[in-house]
Amino acid sequence: MQYTTLNNGIKMPMVGFGVFQIHDAKTTQIVVEEAIKTGYRLIDTAQVYGNEEAVGKAIKASGVPREELFITTKLWISDFSYEAAKDAFNESLRKLDLDYIDLYLLHQPFGDIFGAWRALEELYKEGKIKAIGVSNFKPDQLANLAAFNEVTPAVNQIELHVFNQKEDEQAYMLSKGVQTESWGAFAEGQFDVFNNPVLKEIAEKYSKTTAQVMLRWQLQRGIVSLSKSANPERVRQNFDIFDFELSAEDMDKIVTLNTNTTVFSDHHEAKTVELLASFVGKSF
């Protein structure tokens, strides 16, 4: 495993396992146990995923010492206020059955982010969270939050994959000491990404899968990446990326796949904000 050091000195694994859209509790527990057994030490969940309890059970069942694991969860926008954030954090802590969270993120850049952030800052100072950060924030939103608060986010978890490479955003975050972490590393399989001819050519060169090439590409860019699968063999394959290195030529070839467009809903379009707000009873 390779690690990065966050802006507060905490070490974070560069490769993690996510549980988004793995809704069945039994399946979640099984695949997280398999991921930890394989060697993953970063496990990423969220309040809104509805599987924190299953993740907590897998952590207990793994037998791996707590201090060797790096557990991330996220606060949903329904609880973006000072008081509600504290209550939601304590509920997540209870469901995970942990004494502390390694990384706690604001899941979206909407609502009362300042009130919620003040709560996270206090929980961080109390030692209940080792690092605090955000998800889906654009550079201007990140700058706004950092400029008017005491603690600079340690991590920004964003959509980032071969079709949406965000080099400028990563460069900005690097200049401010904010670690880039990707979600959607495989673009959710869209545009037949696993059979992309450029990726297939590179994968054949190293006797690897296209998924392994995509994860290795992120690792070499200094990006913390998350992968997910309910298939035990793929869980193991996606971790097996430390025994090869992409050449500069291969990295350049992957750059050509960039379209700078999301393959999901754009979190920074008005219709997306309105949709997410409607889920928590807000409207415009």
- At 183 the three-state DSSP class reads strand
Among 3, 40, 49, 82, the active-site one is: 49
Q: How far apart are CA 74 and CA 92, in angstroms?
A: 9
Contact 154, 6 (CB under 8 A): yes
73/187 Cα distance (integer angstroms): 21
Residues sharing a CB contact under 8 Å with residue 109, sequence separation 6 or more, in sequence order:
134, 136, 137, 138, 141, 267
Active site (annotated) includes residue 82: no
Nearest to 142 by CA among 129, 157, 131: 157
Where b means 16+ CB within 10 Å and e means fewer, 201-237 reads ebbeebebbbbbbbbbbbbebebbbbbbbeeeeebbb
> Backbone phi, then psi, for 255, in 5-degree steps?
-55, -35
**What ranges in the chain are assigned the alpha helix state H?**
25-38, 52-62, 82-96, 113-125, 139-147, 167-175, 197-206, 210-220, 232-239, 248-255, 270-279
List the catalytic residues. Answer: 49
